[in-house]
Structure 1
Amino acid sequence: MKLDNALRRVWRGIIHPSPRGRVRWAVFFVVVLGISAAVFDAPYWFNRGLGAIRPALGYAGIQIPNVPTIPFRLGLDLQGGAQLVYEADMKDILEADRDDALGGVRDVVERRVNAFGVAEPLVQSSRVGDSYRMVIELAGISDIGEAIRQIGETPILEFKEESVEPSRPLTPEEEMEMNKFNKEVKKSAEDILKKALAPEADFALLAKEFSEDEDSKPDGGSIGFIRPGQTVEPFEKAAFALKVGETGKTLVESQFGYHIIMKTDERETDVDGEKVPEVKVSHILFQTKSPTDIVPPEPWKNTALSGKQLKRAGVSFDPNTNEAEVSLQFDAEGAKLFSEITERNVGKPVAIFLDGAPITVPRVTEKITGGQAVITGNFSVQDAKLLAQRLNAGALPVPISIISEQRVGASLGQESVNKSLVAGLWGFALVALFMIAYYRLPGLLSVLSLGIYAVVVLALFKLIPVTLSMAGIAGLILSLGMAVDANVLIFERLKEELRSGKPLGQAIDEGFRRAWTSIRDGNLTTLIAAGILFWFSSSTIKGFALTLSVGVLVSMFSALVVTRSFLRLISPWFKKKFWYGV
């Protein structure tokens, strides 16, 4: 009975905690958050300890996975790498087209840089007077010379069509194996043809048993009515030559294999005012092997059309639907080549490649003449603009040349990391000593909350993820100072309330309430400034603005929630004003 009452009290305390209970719960969640963030920041020791006790946990049937090790992203100045500055040669580009041409080149360079596998590469373009430049930062890259070579290559635009040819010739052994297989298939087909031509033959039953056409096999080989042009020529010619109810006396060979064909019906259909003959046929298919079954073809093959024949690509809008589309304009040679390509690929896709990678694969709906075409596809205006930009990058190639190269060695980057770490630790230690010496117990609690602040911020840097540079670390240290500043405002207000004679609990609540407006306004103006820096500045300053913003938001949490929870928990045991610096 006593145990039941105790359990009820515990449960009631969890569901409906007292004011003191709420404080304990807040401290509990803060401690759990801090420990979780610390383990996520540096999982090595946790995983090592877990490995030591895992056998014992296994005996108890408990499985706890390791915490994943996610490294911090380091920027160019910390990880090492290269900063390359290129200048674009615009002398052959019209003045009105130069900004778009530079944007297209930047997009091509970004695609090339991303292929290097570099974390967070940066590509920025700018115009200084009549000079068009691009700044490229590659952190952690190993072969800088190869990167410079690939980045400087002129973009190549290619138009490709589907390939049905093997990617290489068959070897004699492969050809012999294919021929042997096809001979065996032909012999089997001839044996079944004899059965199909027998007077008592059931064609549908034979098709269900022997046909390799999985679509028509369940229907006894019937493929329904066909009209001229709907099937391959050998099949169509044989089918239309038969009489109704007649089975072909010879095998029909097509690209799919050997067919035994039976004509079951015929009729005429009205199509656009014209009578078109149709026949209903069934067949039994015996599949053969072709060279592409042994050596698969490349997905695409080159055509003679390239970016040299493309005069211009731009964004236009469908007059009926007002949807964005991309218009293409070819020169005389390109118009002829494009007409030939579209004629032989009606109903098929034609791929457009830039630098060896497809940027769009439109399907041809009809033969296109006149040298003008549009690419549709439910584009947003931004998507259409990007595609047009990429097409123009290949149509109007802009040569770029390197004018500046700055390399940062990995050892220099590591030295910067070490110095930053030492500076941060010294700064934290001096701040901790000042806070404890001047504010005593609240100062000690603020140091604990700053420790939680630090591990939470670092965990967020991993999760977002944030690329840390020297400027980013500066933003982190500055936000640490702002976190201390928030605590200073709170503690000064607390001391004022205690000097005025208010009880400790009321003084703590009043100190936080009166300090909140100052903390809110100060941090809000900092966040506004950081937002402006992030949107209108270069990558280095963006890193500073991002780390500062994250740090400021977490600092408000650490001061207003963490420090307050600790103070409210521990204050009943330390009621003398001495402990609060009064």
Structure 2
Amino acid sequence: MLHFERWKIALIALLTLAGFLYTAPNFLPKAALDEMPSFLPHKQINLGLDLRGGSYLLLQVDTASVTHDRLQQLVNDIRKALRNAEVLYTGLGVNGEAVTIRITKPEDVDKSLKAIRDLSTVVTSNLLSGGLPQRDLSVANSGGLITVTLSETAKVARAQSAIQQSMEIVRRRIDELGTTEPVIQQQGADRILVQVPGLGDPQRLKKLLGQTAKLNFRLVDTSTTAQQAMATHTIPAGAEVLYMTEDPTRPLLVQRRVMVGGDNLVDATPGFDQRSGEPIVSFRFDSTGARLFGEVTRDNVGKPFAIVLDNKVISAPVIREPILGGTGQISGNFTVQQANDLAILLRAGALPAPLNVLEERTVGPGLGADSIRAGTIASIIGSVAVIVFMIAAYGLFGVFANLALLVNIALIMGALSMLQATLTLPGIAGIVLTIGTAVDANVLIYERIREELRSGKSVIAAIEAGYHRALATILDANITHFISAAVLFELGSGPVRGFAVTLAIGVVTSVFTAFTVNRLIVATWVRRRRPKLLVL
């Protein structure tokens, strides 16, 4: 156990050196890091919300709007299906949580029911149906009045899909801000927890996440003005009144029919207009969107074309000529930040449902600094206490254990820096706990050496036996320790995960340093001093 081949010594030395190299950037100012050679480690540990400060939002997904949007879509699908089936009907529309329609001719009811049922799709919800597939639509007939409702399975499936999609879009939008290590997790059935460390403008985050960002392009209804339609309460069929985003706002009569949807966008970038110099957003469609956009602009030259975002008209330019390249630009008296934020929203995609802010907290950097200071003091106190105890209990061998402990701390810090893990206040607690328990393996080894010495074995034989016989116990204890950390990481969230990460890394590094590094130090001392007597 005390013999080390040269390649093993070199490997241990290399790992130890790497730990100190990756730890060093955390103690250097940013200016010094920028001047260092590129081949040296530059990464610092990411600090969590409680240490660095930042924004905390608890969002609720409006799942009711998901159901309503599906019903509105269903109205259009039913209208198209009945038109293809050549069925006369009246009163098609959303009524509460159902779509109702009255068939004019009784002989067309059966044909209508078949056409509507053909619109249903198969969905599966393990929670409500035990994994068995079910139809998403329930169709009932009462004297020619057909009622179409969504099944509970379909509602649950769509709500879960909306939550997962919302989380992904929220992540994309936050990533575009350039922040590091945001925490985005689902809480409960319809809530999303968002933590963004280091973000100094929480209101911007709130605004960015609060926008649904449903973009579409519609023609302006020029049959009358919005003011006249509102004054006479006679809004033309197929049109609605929306408001411009300009200040002061003014109403605009816009057709309900969406000519080109924002889901056909593939890119959006902020820029400046070459003629006026004002901030704009340039966009690009996919092949389908480019074709539709080209057809609309070709067929409606000379007509105003409204660009609508979340039911507000950003701008309504007049189509001067067909736009066939699938690209265009949006202008609307933007500031540079507004143009950048709009590009972020369009690139990330539209949310499937609005997000409501239930809870908002801002952690100031001063509070984070206090937490770091308190964690640092706790770490120093814990380390000093362990160092004093080991020296008092085991003398020179206690010094060896403390040297291994120093390497252990460097490896933990280096691993957190290299992996770019997020360090939270519970994570600091995990490091302090690791410092306290890291020497447990050394205590087991040293007590075993004492027993071997009392039984009459020589110094070298006692040290060999101590390391050999304590190994199984050390592995058993740390494997169970690691399993606990893995379970905490898998089932926990936020601060619990931060604690689990540092704990798991600490378990691995503690076994390496307390057994391997410490054994190398002891072996080097034995080889050089050749002790005949050992007082331990």
Query: Do both share a fold (TM > 0.5)?
Result: yes
Aligned to 1:420: 375
CA distance in structure 2 between the aligned counterparts of 1:93 and 1:24, rounded to whole angstroms: 66
Say if 1:82 and 1:408, in contact at 8 Å, map to a contact too.
Answer: yes
Shift of 1:37: 2.8
Aligned to 2:212: 154
CA distance in structure 2 between the aligned counterparts of 1:72 and 1:476, rounded to whole angstroms: 14
What does the per-residue CA deviation read over 1:74-121, in whole Å, with 9 as the maximum and x for residues that have no partner?
A: 000110112111122222333331111111222221111112211101
1:300 matched to 2:284: yes
Aligned to 1:319: none
Residue in structure 2 matching 1:543, options 474, 493, 498 = 498
Would the alpha carbon gap of residues 23 and 559 (structure 1) be closer, same or farther in structure 2, given more than 3 Å must change?
A: farther
* Structure with greater Cα Rg: 1
Aligned to 1:38: 20
Say if 1:505 and 1:568, in contact at 8 Å, map to a contact too.
Answer: no
Aligned to 1:127: 188
Shift of 1:480: 2.2
Shift of 1:349: 8.3
Matched pairs, number: 349
CA distance in structure 2 between the aligned counterparts of 1:170 and 1:355, rounded to whole angstroms: 21
Shift of 1:44: 9.1
Shift of 1:22: 3.7
What does the per-residue CA deviation read over 1:284-303, in whole Å, with 9 as the maximum and x for residues that have no partner?
A: xxxxxxxxxxxxx9562677
CA distance in structure 1 between the aligned counterparts of 2:359 and 2:211, rounded to whole angstroms: 17
CA distance in structure 2 between the aligned counterparts of 1:447 and 1:574, rounded to whole angstroms: 22
Counterpart amino acid of residue 284 in structure 2: W
Residue in structure 2 matching 1:67, options 10, 20, 40 = 40
Counterpart amino acid of residue 165 in structure 2: G
Say if 1:23 and 1:569, in contact at 8 Å, map to a contact too.
Answer: no
Counterpart amino acid of residue 531 in structure 2: K
Say if 1:108 and 1:155, in contact at 8 Å, map to a contact too.
Answer: no
Would the alpha carbon gap of residues 355 and 101 (structure 1) be closer, same or farther in structure 2, given more than 3 Å must change?
A: farther
Say if 1:127 and 1:133, in contact at 8 Å, map to a contact too.
Answer: yes
Say if 1:162 and 1:349, in contact at 8 Å, map to a contact too.
Answer: no
Q: How does 1:379-390 map to 2 (within 5 A)?
A: none
CA distance in structure 1 between the aligned counterparts of 2:44 and 2:361, rounded to whole angstroms: 25
Shift of 1:527: 1.0
Would the alpha carbon gap of residues 300 and 546 (structure 1) be closer, same or farther in structure 2, given more than 3 Å must change?
A: same
CA distance in structure 1 between the aligned counterparts of 2:52 and 2:438, rounded to whole angstroms: 28
Residue in structure 1 matching 2:473, options 518, 524, 528 = 518
The SS at the match of 2:439 is helix
Aligned to 1:497: 452
Shift of 1:155: 3.1
Residue in structure 1 matching 2:418, options 455, 463, 466 = 463
Aligned to 1:99: 160
Say if 1:482 and 1:552, in contact at 8 Å, map to a contact too.
Answer: no
Aligned to 1:565: 520
Shift of 1:497: 0.6
Aligned to 1:575: 531
Say if 1:73 and 1:468, in contact at 8 Å, map to a contact too.
Answer: yes
Aligned to 1:476: 431
Shift of 1:305: 7.7
For structure 1, the 5+ residue unaligned runs are 1-18, 52-62, 172-296, 307-343, 361-389
Q: CA RMSD in A?
A: 4.1
CA distance in structure 1 between the aligned counterparts of 2:435 and 2:290, rounded to whole angstroms: 61
The SS at the match of 2:64 is coil
Say if 1:161 and 1:303, in contact at 8 Å, map to a contact too.
Answer: no
1:81 matched to 2:51: no
CA distance in structure 2 between the aligned counterparts of 1:162 and 1:110, rounded to whole angstroms: 17
The SS at the match of 2:374 is helix
Shift of 1:170: 7.5
Say if 1:436 and 1:443, in contact at 8 Å, map to a contact too.
Answer: yes
Counterpart amino acid of residue 575 in structure 1: P
The SS at the match of 1:93 is helix
Aligned to 1:408: 363
Would the alpha carbon gap of residues 551 and 168 (structure 1) be closer, same or farther in structure 2, given more than 3 Å must change?
A: closer
Would the alpha carbon gap of residues 444 and 65 (structure 1) be closer, same or farther in structure 2, given more than 3 Å must change?
A: same
Counterpart amino acid of residue 20 in structure 2: A
CA distance in structure 1 between the aligned counterparts of 2:274 and 2:12, rounded to whole angstroms: 69
Q: How does 1:78-477 map to 2 (within 5 A)?
A: 78-94=51-67, 95-96=155-156, 97-127=158-188, 132-157=190-215, 158=262, 159-160=264-265, 300=284, 356=343, 394=351, 397-477=352-432
CA distance in structure 2 between the aligned counterparts of 1:542 and 1:102, rounded to whole angstroms: 22
Would the alpha carbon gap of residues 577 and 350 (structure 1) be closer, same or farther in structure 2, given more than 3 Å must change?
A: farther
Say if 1:154 and 1:399, in contact at 8 Å, map to a contact too.
Answer: yes
CA distance in structure 2 between the aligned counterparts of 1:64 and 1:110, rounded to whole angstroms: 33
Would the alpha carbon gap of residues 160 and 470 (structure 1) be closer, same or farther in structure 2, given more than 3 Å must change?
A: closer
Counterpart amino acid of residue 360 in structure 2: E
CA distance in structure 2 between the aligned counterparts of 1:111 and 1:556, rounded to whole angstroms: 39
Counterpart amino acid of residue 77 in structure 1: D
Percent identity over paired residues = 30
Would the alpha carbon gap of residues 350 and 486 (structure 1) be closer, same or farther in structure 2, given more than 3 Å must change?
A: farther
Q: How does 1:15-54 map to 2 (within 5 A)?
A: 22=4, 30-31=12-13, 33-42=15-24
CA distance in structure 1 between the aligned counterparts of 2:506 and 2:180, rounded to whole angstroms: 23
Q: Name the TM-score, length of structure 1 as normaliser.
A: 0.53
Say if 1:43 and 1:67, in contact at 8 Å, map to a contact too.
Answer: no
Say if 1:80 and 1:412, in contact at 8 Å, map to a contact too.
Answer: yes
The SS at the match of 1:136 is strand
CA distance in structure 2 between the aligned counterparts of 1:88 and 1:161, rounded to whole angstroms: 25
CA distance in structure 1 between the aligned counterparts of 2:477 and 2:266, rounded to whole angstroms: 61
The SS at the match of 1:398 is coil
What does the per-residue CA deviation read over 1:410-445, in whole Å, with 9 as the maximum and x for residues that have no partner?
A: 011111111111111111111011111111121110
Shift of 1:357: 6.5
Counterpart amino acid of residue 486 in structure 1: A
CA distance in structure 2 between the aligned counterparts of 1:169 and 1:355, rounded to whole angstroms: 19
Say if 2:488 and 2:496, in contact at 8 Å, map to a contact too.
Answer: yes
Would the alpha carbon gap of residues 105 and 29 (structure 1) be closer, same or farther in structure 2, given more than 3 Å must change?
A: closer
